[in-house]
Amino acid sequence: MASSSSSAAMRELQRELETKANDLSKLQKDISKNHQVRKKYTIQLGENELVLKELDLLKEDANVFKLIGPVLVKQDLAEANANVRKRIDYISAELKRLDATLQDLEEKQNSKKEA
Amino acid sequence: MQEPVKGTVTPLASLFPPEEAQKASKRVQDALADRQSELDRVQGFIADNTALVNLVQRLPDELHHDIMVPFGKAAFFPGRLVHTNEFLVLLGEGYYAERTSKQTVEILNRRGKALESQVDSLKAMMKDLKAEASFFDATAAEAVEGLVEIREDYVEESSSERVIETGPPKPDSPRFSGEDSMKVAAEDEEYARMMLRFDELEKEELAAGSGDEHNEADVDHSLSQLSGDHVLGSLEERQVRKPLHHSKDEYATTEELLSKKHFEEDFANQLKSKIQLEGLKEQSVPKDSDDVSHGKSFANRATQSSSRGKDNIQALPTSKAETSVQSSKPATDGLKAFTGSIVEHTRNIQMNPREQAPSSSQSSGSQPTKPVSRFKMQRR
């Protein structure tokens, strides 16, 4: 009787451990995905900053084109500038959001590890 | 070994299992390889960029160039490049700008600079990783060799009690450590006596000499060259001059001079034996601060500078030893005063690359065929 109850408790514990391990691995997957996305965004941010710097250096009358699909569309310099700025803002906001979620995930991971 | 054994002996292998250390080392190596490939890629970009700069600079030299125009994947047909000073430069993110050759070169140069900064940061990262990798490798090697970490609590007053623990006793090493600790005790006592004498002399001089302000310049002069023998030299010079003004002090200063000489000899002995006395440094440091508190009198300055000079000399071997510890040990034992480690080899001593203490190695070098034990001892 005692042995059967203890083995039942053991099984219970084992199942609990398994679910926890699964949770942890899921969290770790999320974190690594987050890292990848963040890397992509960081690269884009760098590229956009480079573009903005070059656009700032251009004279007012320079011709600027934007590649949309297969065609080059002529764009106003001011418009292009504003577009790039907006894009940079968006990417920075996105990066900040990703940072927050990453921190959240890591906290969860740590608490799971301790449990 | 007469004294009771204090402290603990832990094999390094139990703290850092060799497999774990090797795994960590491997991971760092992988990261290093990643960085290396990244670096190669970026350097390829830089090469492309410089080639492009050259081409763009040459293009407007002619009004037109005869070229072969690629048509599809397989075919080329002859063509002619005109408008050689008009470029449509891709700025990134699908933005293009019309530029002249010169302006294009400027843009390309800016890009080259950005790439170079990337290379620099990559190189710095690789350097860090390399240091990390070598650390893990060293730890793994030590763990495999069976290095032992010894910790003892630091007892301040009675440094003579310091015992050098040699783990499982081997025939030759305890002999050395026994001698060492005896020597330590003897020199320490002598030093304590000297310091007592110094204190007396200081009190005398404090009472006698209060009008020594005119020596200020000399003091500064000697303070500026506080290293090694210079200290002794300038001290003597001053002490010879001093009795001219204060005959009362004569006795005191000569006495002091004598004891200082003694002191320096003593000190040379220590350097030779390469053993750091705990008491020496410990006592001299509080001494220093004491002197600073009532620093007007001449005698005080003299002892102060002498003890400082001694510190200078002593700092040499200490720091040498410390660097070797820091490279091999994790920084966990900051509070412990003494760390020593023993390396035991069943065959060959030459296997261990980081041999530090010559006094102990000579014992093992004489009989390389049987199991020998050597140790490195360092002060922190």
Asked if residue B233 belongs to a domain, the reply is yes
- pLDDT exceeds cutoff 90 at A11: yes
The predicted model gives B183-206 an average pLDDT of 77
Q: Which domain holds residue B185?
A: 174-321
User: What is the tens place of the pLDDT at every residue in B304-314?
Assistant: 444 444 444 44
In a domain, B101, yes or no: yes
Residues on chain B touching A64 (C-beta within 8 angstroms): 95-98
Residue B97: which of A50, A53, A62 has the nearest Cβ? A62
For position B8, what pLDDT does the model report? 77
Of residues B291, B285, B284, B302, the one with CA closest to residue B194: B284
Report the chain A residue with the minimal C-alpha distance to residue B91: A51
Terminal CA-CA length for chain B: 24
Question: Who contacts B57 (Cβ-Cβ below 8 Å, separation ≥6)?
Answer: B101, B105
Predicted confidence at residue B262, as pLDDT, reads 56
d(C-alpha B8, C-alpha B380), whole Å: 17
Question: What's the mean pLDDT when you consider all of chain B?
Answer: 65
Here the tokens at position B197 are: 């004498």
Q: Kindly report the CA angle at A108 between A102 and A111, in degrees rounded to 5?
A: 140
List CB contacts of B309: < 8 A, sequence separation 6 or more. B226, B227, B228, B230, B231, B232
User: What local confidence, expressed as pLDDT, does residue B184 receive?
Assistant: 58
Identify whether B367 is part of a domain.
Answer: no
For residue range B14-56, what is the model confidence (pLDDT) as tens digits? 777 778 888 888 999 999 999 999 999 999 999 999 999 999 9
| Integer Cα distance of A47 and A53 in angstroms | 10
pLDDT digits (tens, 9 = 90+) for B75-92: 999 999 999 889 999 988
Phi-psi region of B377 (alpha: psi -120 to 50; beta: other; left: phi over 0): beta
- Chain A residues near residue B91 by CB distance under 8 angstroms: 50-51, 54-55
- Both tokens of A22, joined, read 């699964």
How far does the CA of residue B82 sit from the closest CA of chain A (Å)? 19
Classify B151 as helix, strand or coil.
strand
Type of residue numbered B238: R
pLDDT of residue A84: 93
Residue B224 maps to a domain:
yes
- A48–chain B nearest CA distance, Å: 7
Q: Report the residue from A48, A65, A72 with minimal CB separation from B93.
A: A48
pLDDT of B191 reads 80
Query: Counting one residue from A and one from B, how many pairs have CB atoms under 8 Å apart?
Result: 50
Q: How far is it, in rounded angstroms, from Cα B183 to Cα B189?
A: 10
The two tokens of residue B7 are 């402290």
CA distance B147 to B239: 52
Helix orientation angle between B278-293 and B173-208, rounded to the nearest 10 degrees: 20
Q: How far is the C-alpha of B179 from the C-alpha of B171, rounded, in Å?
A: 14
Provide the residue count of chain B.
380
Whether residues B181 and B251 fall in one domain: yes
Domain ranges, residue A97 = 2-114
Stretch B151-167: mean pLDDT: 60
What's the pLDDT score for residue B263?
Answer: 52
The shortest CB-CB distance from B98 to any of A53, A62, A66 is to A62
State the alpha helices, DSSP H only, in B59-100. none
Q: Does A111 touch chain B (CB under 8 A)?
A: no
A58 vs chain B: nearest CA distance in angstroms? 9
Residue B370: inside a domain: no
Same domain, B22 and B109: yes
In a domain, B53, yes or no: yes
* Number of domains composing chain B: 2
pLDDT for the residue B209: 60
Write the ipTM: 0.75
Most confident region among A65-79, B35-49, B153-167 by mean pLDDT: B35-49
As a whole number of angstroms, the distance between CA A26 and CA B309 comes to 63
Chain B touched by A49 (CB under 8 Å): no
Q: Using the structure block, give the residue that is written with the tokens 């990261």.
A: B31
In this structure, the answer to whether residues B125 and B244 fall within a common structural domain is no
Query: Which CATH number do you get for residue A89?
Result: 1.10.287.370
Chain segment A50-68, per-residue pLDDT in tens: 899 999 888 888 889 999 9
Domain count, chain A: 1
Please report the beta strands in chain B, taking only residues with DSSP state E, as ranges in sequence order.
8-11, 65-71, 75-81, 87-92, 95-99, 148-152, 338-345, 372-379
Tell me: pLDDT of B211 over 70: no
Instruction: Give the integer Cα–Cα distance in Å for B153 and B338.
Output: 8
Whether B107 and B210 share a structural domain: no
Q: CA B16 to CA B136: how far, in whole Å?
A: 10
Hey, which residues does A67 pair with through a beta bridge?
A72
pLDDT of residue B186: 65
Separation between Cα atoms, residue B170 and residue A29, nearest integer Å: 54
